[in-house]
């Protein structure tokens, strides 16, 4: 959600900034802009509703004019997507330019104060209020340093933000700050980069500083990087991180879309998530985050899983896994609702927070509430050194690698893999899972990457062809039982996210309590029906659907002989224990959503109105 890029150094700034914005397109946005500080000429600004390509078409003349600049991709919060609401924004005197991710919650109060003092506003944004608030402090005290004015302004606002600011009278200087929204500083040789994540500058440097909550930095070629606390102005010695990200990981690698690439990366991402953690020969699961806190988990009154979107679906599957194998009560909560319903949390609770980006604002807010109540926080995320990783008491990285497509695929199955490891480890530790069953399950876990390879090889072509039949469909229904009820929810979410077809997931047993009224010859129903689990009940559900002329798309095991015969379309996956079937069944559902969306002409990597990392509440 929203993206910031900035540069100061010896290179031509326009190209660095614009190419960086292209790297951040995956975050989701509706407008884009760029500002350059040109010596003796002031600011060159271009911004427009639409894509980075639209920005380039109106700003190519900027190339070669500056060595410092900033860019932004905006996901609308205050004010509709438009040219005037796009970032960057200028102060009334034209000397200060700002780009901003997040929300300034008290902007309307500040705007009224500034309006009464004669400041004017040309946009509907909270961001334009902030840049004029910075000017106000400099107008009030002409001797005030630029970075100090930024700090004074930030001490009077509340909300969430990552900002980057330039001033015409402070040549070559960038001032950045963060509270609740990520910001990275790339350290080059006689050059500096800023960005919402490291992807815009990964080819230029392998060293970065991830700005901490409540910190700001003044960056210049003369003085380097000066980091201070926003409250208190205390100087901070930063930790410099070595980037593990490679340029190849954030490029498409010959695939038409990042989403398709990431679907096909799942054998590797699951293998990487398991690597070093499942030691079948030794008969152990080795996870430092769990290993060091087994008693805390085992003695917990309950485990609360908090997440949003796809990660919430992973959490629902985690509930089945942990309750079955560890026999610890589990509750799964939408992070966006958790903090607002005055939840009962005690020191005897363990909270598992799941987030692909590690920056999800709702999940962060829920974690902070749980910590205040004394709960133990275990984070599961994909991004090293992300906010959730830092605030958690312990946790596990999924090692899925960069996920650029907005609709999560490989991060989801990697989350399921981590949750499986947690459930089996706890079950073995507390004696609820016998050694023979434990060995069988971890041995099977180790085979999952190979089985997913098999799913991709055997279903890709048929799903691609099958998907052509659903381009004009208006509604889909996804049904599953037990472990595959969350799989049905996730399958429906993938389709609606990227194809814009209305889709709903339901427990199959609930079909007769409402959704059956929708079924007719025009309604495709996806049935997830592995032979382990509640197979006979699923057979009855399929018969009910066929009696009403519904079109059945079934996901079944190779040996299936009943559901497949009643189905209009069949997708076959390898046999597995029921607890692992969601990982295998999710892959063909991702492929089906992808191809239906592609055939409908949708932008699968950047679906409308969606953002990859939702950093506002």
Per the annotation, the verdict on 2 as an active-site residue is: yes
Q: How far apart are CA 14 and CA 159, in angstroms?
A: 30
Q: How far apart are CA 38 and CA 42, in angstroms?
A: 5
Closest CA to 264 of 603, 600, 488, 588: 588
Q: Are 445 and 416 in contact (CB under 8 A)?
A: no
Q: What does residue 252 show for φ and ψ, rounded to 5 degrees?
A: -75, -20
Q: How far apart are CA 525 and CA 68, in angstroms?
A: 54
Q: How far apart are CA 574 and CA 45, in angstroms?
A: 56
According to DSSP H, which parts of 70-227 are helical? 107-116, 126-140, 146-154
Instruction: Count the neighbouring beta carbons within 10 Å of the beta carbon of residue 223.
Output: 10
Q: How far apart are CA 383 and CA 515, in angstroms?
A: 38
* Selected catalytic residue, list 2, 308, 381, 579: 2
* Selected catalytic residue, list 22, 95, 425, 612: 612
Per the annotation, the verdict on 579 as an active-site residue is: no
Q: Are 85 and 70 in contact (CB under 8 A)?
A: no
Instruction: Count the neighbouring beta carbons within 10 Å of the beta carbon of residue 288.
Output: 11
Q: How far apart are CA 404 and CA 29, in angstroms?
A: 14
Closest CA to 270 of 34, 448, 480: 448
The 3-state secondary structure of 234-250 reads CEECCCCEECCCCCHHH
The 3-state secondary structure of 182-239 reads CCEEEECCCCEEEECCCHHHCCCCCEEEECCCCEEEEEECCCEEEEEECCCCCEECCC
Q: How far apart are CA 248 and CA 200, in angstroms?
A: 13
Mind telling me the catalytic residues?
2, 612
């Amino acid at each position: 959600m929203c993206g910031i890029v900035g540069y100061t150094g010896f290179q031509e700034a326009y190209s660095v900034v614009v190419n960086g914005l292209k790297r951040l397109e995956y975050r989701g946005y509706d407008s884009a802009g760029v500002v350059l500080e040109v010596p003796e000429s002031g600011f060159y600004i271009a911004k427009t509703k639409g894509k980075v390509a639209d920005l380039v078409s109106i700003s190519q003349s900027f190339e070669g004019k500056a060595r410092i600049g900033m860019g932004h991709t905006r996901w609308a919060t205050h004010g509709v997507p438009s040219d005037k609401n796009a970032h960057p924004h200028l102060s009334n005197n034209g000397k200060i330019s700002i780009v901003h991710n997040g929300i300034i919650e008290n902007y309307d109060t500040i705007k009224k104060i500034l309006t009464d003092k004669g400041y004017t506003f040309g946009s509907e944004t909270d961001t334009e209020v902030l840049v004029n608030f910075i000017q106000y402090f400099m107008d009030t005290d002409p001797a005030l340093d630029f970075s100090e004015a930024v700090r004074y302004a930030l001490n009077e606002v509340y909300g969430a933000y990552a900002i980057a600011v330039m001033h015409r009278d402070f040549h070559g200087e960038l001032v950045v700050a963060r509270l609740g929204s990520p910001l990275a500083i790339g350290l080059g040789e006689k050059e500096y980069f800023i960005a919402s994540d490291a992807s815009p500058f990964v080819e230029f440097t392998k060293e970065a500083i991830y700005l901490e909550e409540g910190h700001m930095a003044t960056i210049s070629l003369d003085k380097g990087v000066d980091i201070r606390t926003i409250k208190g102005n205390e100087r901070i010695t930063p930790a410099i991180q070595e980037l593990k990200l490679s340029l190849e990981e954030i490029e498409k690698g010959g695939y038409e879309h990042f989403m398709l690439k990431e679907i096909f990366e799942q054998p590797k991402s699951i293998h990487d998530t398991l690597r070093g953690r499942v030691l079948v020969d030794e008969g152990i699961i080795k996870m430092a985050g769990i290993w060091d806190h087994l008693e805390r988990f085992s003695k917990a009154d309950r485990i609360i899983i908090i997440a949003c979107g796809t990660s919430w679906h992973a959490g629902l599957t985690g509930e089945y896994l942990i309750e079955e194998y560890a026999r610890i009560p589990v509750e799964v909560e939408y992070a966006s609702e958790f903090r607002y319903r005055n939840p009962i949390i005690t020191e005897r609770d363990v909270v598992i927070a799941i987030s692909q980006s590690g920056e999800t604002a709702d999940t962060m807010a829920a974690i902070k509430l749980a910590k205040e109540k004394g709960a133990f926080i275990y984070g599961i995320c994909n991004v090293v050194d992300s906010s959730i990783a830092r605030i958690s008491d312990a946790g596990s990285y999924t090692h899925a690698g960069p996920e650029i497509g907005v609709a999560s695929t490989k991060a989801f199955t990697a989350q399921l893999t981590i949750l499986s490891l947690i459930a089996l480890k706890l079950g073995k530790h507390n004696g609820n899972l016998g050694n023979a069953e434990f060995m069988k399950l971890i041995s099977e876990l180790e085979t999952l990457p190979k089985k997913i390879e098999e799913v991709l090889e055997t279903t890709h072509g048929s799903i691609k062809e099958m998907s052509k039949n659903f381009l004009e469909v208006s509604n889909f229904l996804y049904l599953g039982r037990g472990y595959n009820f969350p799989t049905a929810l996730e399958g429906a979410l993938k389709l609606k996210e990227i194809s814009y077809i209305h889709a709903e997931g339901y427990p199959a047993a609930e079909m007769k309590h409402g959704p059956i009224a929708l079924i007719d010859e025009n309604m495709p129903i996806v049935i997830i029906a592995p032979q382990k689990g509640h197979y006979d009940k699923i057979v009855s559900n399929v018969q009910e659907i066929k009696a009403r002329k519904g079109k059945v798309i079934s996901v079944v095991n190779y040996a299936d002989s009943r559901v497949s015969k009643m189905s209009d379309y069949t997708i076959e996956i390898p046999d597995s224990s029921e607890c692992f079937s969601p990982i295998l069944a999710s892959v063909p559902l991702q492929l089906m959503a992808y191809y239906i969306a592609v055939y409908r002409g949708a932008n699968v990597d950047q679906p409308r109105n969606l953002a990859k990392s939702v950093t506002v509440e």
